[in-house]
């Protein structure tokens, strides 16, 4: 018995992010490139409706343009390859590009390293689009399913569109050791490590950024206008939404989550994220390295990129704030979580630098 299944662009519409990228590329307009401002990152609430409206307004111009048509068709070719298992269709990407993915929990120094990577390979970070550089795209998360939404198929299509964008944006980029280097902050790769590793290919390098959860939590709530006065958890920005979502995914009661202490919810998110880093397939890569948050360590790693890619510049300063004496009541539970994560990493043969983390930067 033969069964014919037809899926069209009605089931898999081009994403607003991809339309916006192609529109700006075709019209030679400036890209949104606010991704590397690590000190004053703006809160980014859900703007899906606004992005959708903006995409609709320019979609016809993109679809009527030969370059736009070519890129969109390429994204669907890559989507098909990823959906049904056609490794040969990905070979051109894997043989042409070396992705360098900076992966870590938010507020762990990833934006800094990603920016320095772009500078080191001779690119101006202010000219690199958010979708190319940062972790909002491709979107990846714990599985969600609702009307007209499947997080897995969305992730796969986002990845196909991202790869198509890479082919457009890096078309004339410099080659290092016969490959074009593509930096990428990929926080969300932790959720589906094996998929990212497969899609981006065996030449991909993963730089894992680690930070003690206490100062990381402080940095998170400061980005979200401060610790709530009652000390309870609240969702005001993206990172807090991810913490809420991930806690529910691992069994937290949604009705009681907002009654919990802020740090308790954050720590659960931090701990689970680091389990995902070790256990979802990303660590299968042989090109895996770890750096712990800290001024000297971050700048030394950035300097190594400048040397490797023969850049004449030098890395900018990495700003670190001393929060080690704040919230002493959080320290014991934070340290306990660090040790639990270390145990899981050790169980799968990964070194977890406990002593460096305990410096608490």
* Structure confidence by residue, pLDDT tens digits, 158-175: 999 999 999 999 998 999
Q: How far apart are CA 21 and CA 169, in angstroms?
A: 10
pLDDT at 318 over 70: yes
On average, the pLDDT of the chain sits at 93
State the first-to-last Cα distance of the chain, in angstroms, to the nearest integer.
Answer: 62
Q: How far apart are CA 126 and CA 76, in angstroms?
A: 29
Geometric angle at alpha carbon 176, from 174 and 180, rounded to 5°: 60
pLDDT at 45 over 60: no
pTM of the model: 0.93
Geometric angle at alpha carbon 297, from 296 and 303, rounded to 5°: 85
Strand bridging mode 145-146 / 149-150: antiparallel
Position 52 scores a pLDDT of: 67
Q: Which pLDDT band, with edges at 50, 70 and 90, does 317 fall under?
A: very high
Sequence-separated (6 or more) residues with CB below 8 Å from residue 355: none
- Domain locations in the chain? 88-149+169-357
Q: How far apart are CA 158 and CA 124, in angstroms?
A: 24
| Cβ(237)–Cβ(266) below 8 Å | no
Q: How far apart are CA 161 and CA 153, in angstroms?
A: 12
pLDDT at 82 over 80: yes
pLDDT at 44 over 60: no
Q: How far apart are CA 28 and CA 289, in angstroms?
A: 37
Q: What is the mean pLDDT of residues 277-285?
A: 95
Strand partners, 183: 100
Of 263, 270, 268, the residue nearest 253 (C-alpha): 268
Per-residue pLDDT tens digits for 206-262: 999 999 999 999 999 999 999 999 999 999 999 999 999 999 999 999 999 999 999
Q: How far apart are CA 35 and CA 111, in angstroms?
A: 7
Q: Chain-centre distance of CA 337, in angstroms?
A: 23
Position 41 scores a pLDDT of: 47
| Cβ(197)–Cβ(204) below 8 Å | yes
By the 10 Å C-beta count (0-12 exposed, 13-18 middle, 19+ buried), 317 is classed as: exposed
Q: What is the mean pLDDT of residues 351-357?
A: 98
Q: How many CA atoms lie less than 13 Å away from 82 in the CB half-sphere? A: 28
Domain spanning 88-149+169-357: which CATH class is it, in words?
A: alpha beta
């Amino acid at each position: 018995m033969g069964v014919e299944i037809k899926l069209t662009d009605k089931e898999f519409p081009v994403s607003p992010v991809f339309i916006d990228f192609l529109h700006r590329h075709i019209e030679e307009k400036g890209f949104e490139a606010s991704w590397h401002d690590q000190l004053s990152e703006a809160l980014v609430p859900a703007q899906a409706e606004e992005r959708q409206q903006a995409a609709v307004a320019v979609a016809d111009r993109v679809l009527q343009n030969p370059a736009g048509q070519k890129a969109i068709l390429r994204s669907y070719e890559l989507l098909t390859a990823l959906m049904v298992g056609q490794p040969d269709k990905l070979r051109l990407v894997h043989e042409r590009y070396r992705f360098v993915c900076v992966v870590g929990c938010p507020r762990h120094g990833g934006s800094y390293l990603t920016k320095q990577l772009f500078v080191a390979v001779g690119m101006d970070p202010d000219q690199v689009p958010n979708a190319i550089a940062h972790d909002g795209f491709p979107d990846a998360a714990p599985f969600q399913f609702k009307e007209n939404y499947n997080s897995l198929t969305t992730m796969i299509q986002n990845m196909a569109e991202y790869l198509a964008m890479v082919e457009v944006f890096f078309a004339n980029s410099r080659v290092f050791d016969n490959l074009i280097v593509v930096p990428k902050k990929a926080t969300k790769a932790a959720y589906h490590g094996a998929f990212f590793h497969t899609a981006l290919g065996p030449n991909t390098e993963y730089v894992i950024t680690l930070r003690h959860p206490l100062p990381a939590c402080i940095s998170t709530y400061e980005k979200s206008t401060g610790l709530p006065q009652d000390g309870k958890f609240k969702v005001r920005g993206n990172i807090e939404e991810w913490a809420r979502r991930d806690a529910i995914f691992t069994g937290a009661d949604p009705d009681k989550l907002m009654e919990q202490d802020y740090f308790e919810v954050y720590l659960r998110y931090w701990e689970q994220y680091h389990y995902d880093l070790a256990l979802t397939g990303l660590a299968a890569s042989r090109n895996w390295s770890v750096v712990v948050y800290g001024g000297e360590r971050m700048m030394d790693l950035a300097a190594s990129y400048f040397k490797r890619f023969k850049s004449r510049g030098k890395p900018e300063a990495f700003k670190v704030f001393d929060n080690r004496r704040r919230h002493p009541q959080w320290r014991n539970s934070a340290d306990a979580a660090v040790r639990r994560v270390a145990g899981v990493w050790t169980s799968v043969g990964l070194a977890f630098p406990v002593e460096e983390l305990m410096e608490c930067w």
